[in-house]
Amino acid sequence: MKARIEFHKIGQKPIQLMLAIEGYLHGCGLDHGMLHLIKLRASQINGCAYCIDMHSKDARALGESEQRLYALNAWEETPFFNERERAALRWTEALTLVSDGHVPDAVFEAVRPHFTDEELVNLSLAVATINAWNRLSIAFRTVPGGYQPAVRKAG
């Protein structure tokens, strides 16, 4: 398999800006494990092999269980996710599949009790950003498999 274009090398300035958004999201206060779950779920919906590979590895590096990763595409049918995670996954699906109902009021009302206004904006930004990464990686056929998570320092 070969990439069509190595977009991260061509469009360095816009990629730097997208990475700055990722940096913001990393420090915004949302749980990093939950962020990887929503990024993985959006990537599953979009069929982005590169991002599925990346975010499953990142989630594992943070201690995510294999059971939850394997069940993520059927999260509504399992007891493995807490209510806040379930709300984030519901929001992720609605935003990723925005053409299917334009994020119904019922979804917003179900998610609302679990996030502050600021958190909901940040969660939405995270979903929008992973959808952008998915579209770039899919369009240019970014090859999965080589990504390795950063080594985390103890303590």
The pLDDT tens digits for 19-68 are 999 999 999 999 999 999 999 999 999 999 999 999 999 999 999 999 99
* Range of the structural domain that residue 68 is part of: 13-139
84-132, pLDDT tens digit by residue? 999 999 999 999 999 999 999 999 999 999 999 999 999 999 999 999 9
Q: Is residue 116 assigned to a domain? A: yes
At 9 the pLDDT is 84
* Cα(16)–Cα(14) distance, integer angstroms: 5
Judge whether 50 and 66 are in contact, CB under 8 Å.
no
User: pTM score, two decimals?
Assistant: 0.93
At 152 the pLDDT is 61
At 109 the pLDDT is 97
Total domains in the fold of the chain: 1
Q: Is residue 1 assigned to a domain? A: no
